[in-house]
Amino acid sequence: MHPTSRGFSRRDALKLAGAAGVAGLVTAYPGRISFAATDQTLDLAIERTRITIDGHTSRGIAIGGSIPAPTLRWREGQEVVIHVTNRLNEPTSIHWHGLLLQGVMDGAPGFNGFAPIHPGETYTYHFKLRQAGTYWYHSHSAGQEQEGMYGAIVIEPAERDPVRADQDYVMLLSDHTTESPDAVLRKLKVSEGYYNNNKRTLVDFFRDAQRDGLGATVTDRLDWAEMRMDATDLADVTGYQFLVNGKGPRDNWTALYKPGERVRLRIINGSAMTIFDVRIPGLAMTVVAADGQNVAPVKVDEFRMGVGETYDVVVIPQGDKPFTVFAEPIDRTGFARATLAVRDGLEGAIPERRPRAVLTMADMGMAHGGMAHGGMDHGAMAGMDHGAMAGMNHGAMPGMDHSSMAGMDHGSMPGMNNPGGMGSKDQATGWADAGTPPGAKALSYADLKSLTKAKDLREPAHEIEVRLTGMMSRYIWTLNGRKFDEGDPIRVAYGDRVRIRFVNETMMAHPMHLHGMFMELENGQKDRLPRKHVVLVPPGKTMSVQLTADEPGEWPFHCHLLYHMASGMMTRFIVERRTASL
């Protein structure tokens, strides 16, 4: 018996399992990598564990006995029951990222009546699968997601899958640090540039002056200094190890294929803070789904993915040559890699490392020589409390040894001529410059086109502006200048068609995630706007989405960079029925 149970009763679960033809309960255990579609009733325990990456072991938190958690493979239309037992000494939760379900089952503490799962308690999630595609699940409490609480979800369509594949693999990208989440956040609060070890140097100044002219270079440096920002500060946290399915670069996670087979890779960015550029040198990819939703196939050589995004790609490797799946963070401080091979033990070549980008005033919506700050609010903001907020528990966690990590060479990289910069021929300029070679195709949001027509073609009745704001000098991240629960929530009427306009007034990209509903990205595709649950908004840019508010409740709406959300970049998106009751 479970020590404590809330939600759907175990008796009800057993009745449901019997009605569905399932023999009994299935319990996760260490080493099991997935559950089949017949496993509609599961027991998952959350507990402290150890994770070994490239031969080095550190602390973590496992769901179902492993990091990452077991892949859940279900079928559209099934009703599933998951008993989650908390064996930690702190509250926890599981959020089913991207799934359409009743609000209380979404798993975000403080929203829709869901309370955190306390130590020793079991909570039962139960919901019917209303969609197909690639999704994931993770903790929505404190920094537990950073510590290993994440796993993949694959939902097979009820009807014939439009994507034909001979092999089907999940590739879950993540970042790992031996630091506790609290330690990371404390360091960011003390100094927002604590982890920025790649600042521009005097050598960079002379190089830029030779290229751009002395006056323009001086103006550029003064502009960044006035904003109290650094053009190389692309990512808040560095020192990560980057993983594929919990494996480091030396561990070399491998997917097997036979020459000429169609191989489907379900690539998930389950990291806490890392935006990845993904490529398979020598092998073109055909993108067939974004955020679990089918799109018209588009052939690419690489793509950038924000935290929380998923892309399904199909590749057709030929011959017996191994291919490297290569994912670099945008600040180029390491890499994740896996291998596609005809047999175990083979390794693909590690491609040349690309230089990290340096932001420009154009990225910030400004021009050299005239500091037209164009809506950028760099003024003082109210102080912040990093203590308790709804759904976020920042309790004390053990410290760390922030020493070198196996398999990660943070020294010289191709194109690096000095500790802080690149040779001029290797300079990557601006957010959009991923170093894509001439003739290669990088995926753009403009390329995404829904495979099916939208169900709701009404023009939005009103527009909501969401300004992505913050104050780096105090590590405060906000929406519309307000931290979580200090500003007014966003309220819309049930059934309304609305437009959300994201205005990024910061120097960092923000993967914006709305729980409970899909957003339709306005990218020029008319009646086939791609449906997404995460939209990556570049620095200094404006993007817009449409949505139909057809899921009543109070939903989290936040940046999916963990420490941005924890520092206030979240609000409540409330869909109100036109009557008093939801």
Per-residue confidence (pLDDT) for residue 197, from 0 to 100: 53
Per-residue confidence (pLDDT) for residue 321, from 0 to 100: 94
Distances (CA, A) of 254 to 168, 245, 348, 365: 13, 10, 10, 42
Where exactly are the structural domains of the chain? 5-161, 241-341, 448-576
CA distance 63 to 68: 8
Q: Kindly report the pTM of this predicted structure.
A: 0.82
CA distance 234 to 186: 19
Class of domain 448-576: mainly beta
Give the CATH number of domain 241-341: 2.60.40.420
> Tokens standing for 344?
């175990």
> Tokens standing for 227?
């904003």
Per-residue confidence (pLDDT) for residue 433, from 0 to 100: 86
Q: 58 pairs with which residues across the strands?
A: 51
- Nearest CA among 328, 317, 313 for reference residue 266: 313
CA distance 321 to 158: 36
CA distance 516 to 575: 10
CA distance 103 to 82: 16
What is the block-wise mean pLDDT of the chain (582 residues), using blocks of 10 residues? 41 41 34 57 96 96 97 96 98 98 97 97 97 98 98 97 97 97 90 54 52 60 49 74 97 97 98 97 98 98 98 96 97 96 96 84 52 33 33 34 33 31 49 92 98 96 96 89 95 97 94 98 97 96 97 98 97 87 48
Residue found by looking up tokens 């869901």 in the block: 114
CA distance 50 to 60: 5
Give 206's DSSP letter. H
CA distance 308 to 533: 8
Burial of residue 216 (CB within 10 Å: 0-12, 13-18, 19+) is middle
Burial of residue 529 (CB within 10 Å: 0-12, 13-18, 19+) is buried
Q: 154 pairs with which residues across the strands?
A: 73, 134
CA distance 267 to 281: 16
CA distance 122 to 492: 34
CA distance 173 to 310: 10
Domain 241-341 identical in fold to domain 448-576: yes
Per-residue confidence (pLDDT) for residue 214, from 0 to 100: 65
CA distance 176 to 57: 11
CA distance 552 to 522: 23
Per-residue confidence (pLDDT) for residue 60, from 0 to 100: 98
Helix, strand or coil, per DSSP, at residue 564? helix
CA distance 29 to 342: 29
> Tokens standing for 232?
């190389």
CA-atom Rg of the chain in angstroms: 23
Residue found by looking up tokens 């031969």 in the block: 55
Give the CATH number of domain 5-161: 2.60.40.420
> Tokens standing for 303?
């793509």
CA distance 271 to 24: 34
CA distance 262 to 241: 30
Strands 490-493 and 570-576: parallel
Q: Are 47 and 126 in contact (CB under 8 A)?
A: no
Per-residue confidence (pLDDT) for residue 427, from 0 to 100: 54
Task: Indicate the length of the chain as a whole number.
Answer: 582
